[in-house]
Amino acid sequence: MIPVNGFEGQEIAILGLGRSGLSAARALRAGGAEPVCWDDNPAARSIAEAEGFVCRDLGHVDGFRGISRLIVSPGIPHLYPVPNPVVAAAWDAGVPVDNDIGLFFRSLAVEDWDDHGATPRVIAVTGSNGKSTTSALIHHVLRHAGRDVQLAGNIGRGVLDIDPPGDGGIVVLELSSYQTELARALTPDVAVFTNLSPDHLDRHGGLGGYFAAKRRLFAEGGPERAVIGVDEAEGRFLANQLSEAAVDARVIRVSSGQKLTGPGWHVFARKEFLAEWRKGRQIASIDLRGVQGLPGAHNHQNACAAYAVVRTFGIAPRVIEAAFHAFEGLPHRSQTVAEAGGVRYVNDSKATNVDSAAKALAAFGKVRWICGGLQKEGGLEALAAASGSVVKAYVIGREAAAFAMQLGGMETEVCGDMATAVARASADAEDGDVVLLAPAAASFDQYDNFEQRGEDFAAQVHRVLEQAGGT
């Protein structure tokens, strides 16, 4: 645990008692603060009270009397689409609002760092798609290279639950826009922007607000190094803002699909080869074709970003290449769950928006596509460019028929539920086909989260194969 410093003897309010909220309460108590907790869910309050925390309805009149700061869990909106009433009450009371990420950065450095031979460093990764895989891949390569490294944030452990990093220790954080938009302290040593596509627009008041939340990681923190995906205009804009000159090596531009030119530091993937260029010369390359844990152009972009980050730590290209081959990928992200009869079954339940689903589709040849769920804003038009790989779509979700109607001239079958979709896709599949779950939608109409949806897909695949005598 990382104790939160600077609030000794003060009452600090915690709104939301999920993983991050409880973690923040524990870390504040360890640092000498007095947490005052609240969650609308009585079960969550009971858990906190069982740990000895005081729970008080912060929405009541004078709820913020004596409170020095409010810590808000990431799932609670503080501005759009409407401010949470407790957050609004904190504004009216003049109480500063923060989150656990802000607490982490203000409390990470401790006095014994002065005795370290190498100061601990923090890598923070944000973006619309690929940030989990990129974060996990950075962590994996650094561990493969023998570094002392921890993975936390939106993946792995809560940021305040990790051990204080030791001499030369490294912390890799995956940060969502919900986390970066509110944190009062954002000071990573290396910051990564993977890409941007429309998502969470209601939470951020539109695409501009969404990008602004991501941009705070760079504008507020002033990282020593910035690794920026430049395949969208927002990334090129951000890289330009952070650079003082074309040769500024503090900014590393990465891309999947285009060759990057110029005198700066570039890492890009084309035709399934990763290349590193500096000052107009190629420094190294890696053949990505045999890296099974990173299939498709979208994962090649993740590989480029991870490669760029670990190169700033002095890791040799040959060590990175070996680590890439040992990377198995993450659950629910282009995860192969079975192969039988020449058919590959791939779980990409994390593809919850149109852009990520399109990238998943583009990674494979003949696809029997399981899609559908709680549709997000923006429609499905962006999937048209990737639909050429789709042999047939099998649509699930409560509004499956309406979802299927938006898939244009594609052959579709309305299945409704996962069991039916997997059974029908498996029955239709031929040698060389990929049965791919890439929903292009949220899971909440039928599942608690995308993990549960992916687990159901895997379970249904194994059930169908067992019934067919497969393995």
C-alpha span between 184 and 421 (Å, rounded): 45
SS3 282: strand
- What does residue 22 show for φ and ψ, rounded to 5 degrees? -65, -40
C-alpha span between 354 and 440 (Å, rounded): 5
C-alpha span between 394 and 351 (Å, rounded): 16
Q: Do the beta carbons of residue 35 and residue 25 sit within 8 Å? A: yes
Please work out, in degrees rounded to the nearest 5, the angle formed at the alpha carbon of residue 57 by the alpha carbons of 52 and 61: 140
Annotated ligand binding at 130? The verdict is yes
Residues 6+ apart with CB under 8 A from 85: 59
H/E segment holding residue 395: strand 390-396
Tokens in use for 141?
């390569």
Q: Do the beta carbons of residue 315 and residue 350 sit within 8 Å? A: no
C-alpha span between 136 and 141 (Å, rounded): 9
Q: Pairing between strand 343-347 and 335-340?
A: antiparallel
Tokens in use for 255?
């891309």
- Count of C-beta atoms within a 10 Å radius of residue 430: 11
C-alpha span between 101 and 98 (Å, rounded): 8
H/E segment holding residue 436: strand 433-437
Annotated ligand binding at 127? The verdict is yes
Tokens in use for 37?
């907790």
C-alpha span between 32 and 53 (Å, rounded): 13
Q: Do the beta carbons of residue 33 and residue 8 sit within 8 Å? A: yes
Annotated ligand binding at 132? The verdict is yes
C-alpha span between 290 and 321 (Å, rounded): 11
Annotated ligand binding at 133? The verdict is yes
Tokens in use for 184?
């009062």
What b/e sequence results for 338-354 when a residue is b if at least 16 CB atoms lie within 10 Å of its CB, and e otherwise? bebeebbbbbbbbbbbb
C-alpha span between 378 and 1 (Å, rounded): 41
Annotated binding site for ATP: 127-133
